[in-house]
Amino acid sequence: MTDLAWLTVAEAAGLLRNRTLSPVEYAKALIARVERHDGRLNAFLRFTPEIALEDAKRAEDEISRGLWRGPLHGVPYALKDIIDYAGLPTTAHSKILKDNVVAADAQVAWKLKAAGGVFMGKLSTHEFAIGGPSFDLPWPPARNPWSRDHFCGGSSSGAGSATAAGFVPAAIGTDTGGSVRNPASMCGVVGIKPTYGLVSRRGVFPLAYSLDHVGPLTRTVRDNALLLDLIAGHDPHDPGSAPHGASGFTAALDGGVKGFRIGVIRHFYTTDMPAEPEVVSGIEAAAAKLAALGADVREVSTAPLAEYLAVNRTILTSEAFALHEQWMRDRPQDYGALARERIMAGAFVRAADYVNATRLRRKMADAFHALFSGIDVALTASSMDLPCRIDDPKAVEYTYARQARAPFNITGGPALSIPAGFSQSGLPLAIQLVGKPYTEALLYRVANAYEQSEDWVRRHPVF
Amino acid sequence: MAHDRPTPDDIRSMASDIGLTRLTDEHLQQLLQATRTAQARRAALPVARLVATDEPAHVFRAEDGQ
């Protein structure tokens, strides 16, 4: 049988359903892998093999009685530790919440439980989803499986690391300025920020209310669509939840890109914020491949990247400081240095600047969505740089800000990071596909066609 | 409240005004740096393009009470 560590969700679902693979056998294999390797990667903040084995035994019993719940039944997954799982602490990787045991599941955790998933534990994050890879917190930062000396992105750092390392085939992260797509890009996996409101944020510790999104990280596009099919949907208890949703992402995967109009936002990574040459080459090669597959690839332009980033950060830090103000007064010493500095950036933002940023947000989103009268999907960079060394704080600070993900937390539509090969040094490259709201199915279809034409998903890190 | 180019003394006073009285010198240095970063972002906001009728992205909507 294939090495169980590299089974996709779709592959595992087939084997589990026809009882070629036992959920208990599968869970034990991944538990052993985590126990053997995670001491070097720190992807898990709280590893829960006892829960995983209980879930796996339940799945085995149900499947043996013909009660198959769907493609996640008996399949291991894990959650970023800002997402509530009843009975466990949600720490946000912070001393401030280290004993914060929660009573109820987040809506997304509840959906994955209901789907029969096997819960492996809580994953490392940057503190409160805004710090960086910090060494002054109660738990160490996650590392990149492709090179453990390198940054694995964030803030869903453990989600990227665990998925790439073969610890789980799927993980759930969150994204306020790019925090699903950054680790996806750095770790060579697939990560989506769905349309704002498509996935419930109930039970997810907030960073910035109007920018927070929940999304899956997986090793293949098909698996990502499967996970989004499971977790999307209206939640009347999330005030930002979309009243209607999109669905059927998996069903729409096939069919190719012939005739699709793909607009390349080239100025983001060539003039606004010039990317490293290997990053540019990777994007241009992907665009050429999509053209070779039959897409109509053309160049489009939007507002300068710096304007999007200024709007995103003004809104994000204002909302985050409002949330953290009391803790900053009472126990500032309990934050790590990176999170404290990033949150404090919102302390003296004027109300007029916050309001103007939200006014600009609407204007920029409207203008961006108008682009889609001439294209179906946009293509651009995710990160401008390759992963830097994790022990080089200046390089982390520099490269963290050099990204084209935050614009789409502003516009609210879906944005998907997918692998696009490797640098000469063996580190992952990525591209980002972007759509107008509720067009996740189009993004997945383009991404799937590209993924099928390359062999990136068959390469795995050795550590 | 906000100074165009706050000094360390300014930032200590500004922090105290909003109840941030437990910050160490190291924290105040971080706050100074963070505030300067935020001011740079403010300068990058293209507010000249706004017209009076441009509404915020999230406007209040009255519920019908049903």
Confidence category of residue A91, pLDDT binned at 50, 70, 90: very high
Structural domains of chain A, count: 1
A338, A127 contact by CB (below 8 A): yes
Residues making up chain A, counted from first to last:
463
Which range has the worst mean pLDDT, A55-64, A113-122, A235-244?
Answer: A235-244
**DSSP state at residue A170:** E
Average pLDDT over residues A329-350: 97
How many beta-carbon pairs under 8 angstroms link A with B? 104
Question: What pLDDT shows up at residue B62?
Answer: 79
Indicate the residue of B22, B45, B47 with minimum beta-carbon distance to A329: B22
CA distance A236 to A289: 42
A45, A93 contact by CB (below 8 A): yes
pLDDT at A402 over 80: yes
Confidence category of residue B2, pLDDT binned at 50, 70, 90: low
| CATH code of the domain in which A255 resides | 3.90.1300.10
pTM (whole model) above 0.90: yes
Sign of CA pseudo-dihedral A320, A326, A329, A335: negative
Sort out which chain B residues have CB atoms less than 8 A from A341's CB and list them: 30-31, 33-34
Q: B57, A361: Cβ pair inside 8 Å?
A: yes
Q: B41, A341: Cβ pair inside 8 Å?
A: no
Domain contains A172 = yes
Q: What is the pLDDT of residues A215-229, one digit of tens each?
A: 999 999 999 999 999
Distances (CA, A) of B64 to A119, A355, B61: 41, 26, 9
- In angstroms, the separation between the Cα of residue B53 and the nearest Cα of chain A is 9
A181, A409 contact by CB (below 8 A): no
Q: A329, B57: Cβ pair inside 8 Å?
A: no
Q: B44, A306: Cβ pair inside 8 Å?
A: yes
Domain contains A133 = yes
Question: What pLDDT shows up at residue A2?
Answer: 64
**DSSP state at residue B48:** G
- Quote the percentage of chain A above a pLDDT of 70: 100
- In angstroms, the separation between the Cα of residue B9 and the nearest Cα of chain A is 15
Contact residues, chain B to chain A, C-beta under 8 Å: 1-2, 14-15, 18-24, 26-27, 30-31, 33-35, 37-38, 41-42, 44-47, 49-50, 54-58
Average pLDDT, chain A: 97
CA distance A184 to A224: 12
Q: How many other C-beta atoms lie within 10 A of the C-beta of residue A33?
A: 17
Residue A240's domain comprises 4-458
Question: What pLDDT shows up at residue B5?
Answer: 83
Sort out which chain A residues have CB atoms less than 8 A from B46's CB and list them: 303, 307, 360
pLDDT at B63 over 80: no
Strands ordered across the beta sheet of A170-175:
A44-47, A118-123, A76-80, A170-175, A213-218, A190-193, A415-422, A428-434, A377-380, A261-265, A296-300
Average pLDDT, chain B: 90
Q: What is the pLDDT of residues A289-331, one digit of tens each?
A: 999 999 999 999 999 999 999 999 999 999 999 999 999 999 9
DSSP A72-129: TTT-EEEEETTB--TTSB--TTSGGGTT-B-SS--HHHHHHHHTT-EEEEEE--SGGG
Instruction: Look up tokens 């690839």; give the residue.
Output: A297
Give the Cα-Cα-Cα angle A254, A258, A261 (nearest 5 degrees): 110
DSSP A333-401: GGS-HHHHHHHHTTTT--HHHHHHHHHHHHHHHHHHHHGGGT-SEEEE-SBSS---BTT-HHHHHHHHT
Question: What pLDDT shows up at residue B60?
Answer: 76
Sort out which chain B residues have CB atoms less than 8 A from A342's CB and list them: 34
Report the amino acid identity of residue A460. Answer: H
Q: A360, B19: Cβ pair inside 8 Å?
A: no
CA distance A177 to A169: 24
Average pLDDT over residues A331-359: 97
Closest CA to A303 of A416, A443, A385, A411: A411
Question: What pLDDT shows up at residue A246?
Answer: 74
Closest CA to A315 of B41, B15, B11: B41
pLDDT at A80 over 90: yes
Residue A13, both tokens: 């679902």
Report the amino acid identity of residue A27. Answer: A
Sort out which chain B residues have CB atoms less than 8 A from A313's CB and list them: 38, 41
CA distance A343 to B37: 12
Sort out which chain B residues have CB atoms less than 8 A from A358's CB and list them: 56-58
Domain contains A463 = no
Q: What is the pLDDT of residues A25-72, one digit of tens each?
A: 999 999 999 999 999 999 999 999 999 999 999 999 999 999 999 999
Average pLDDT over residues B16-32: 97
CA distance A433 to A417: 7
Question: What pLDDT shows up at residue A463?
Answer: 87
Nearest CA in chain B to A358: B56
**Active-site annotation of A, residues:** 80, 155, 179
Average pLDDT over residues A367-396: 97
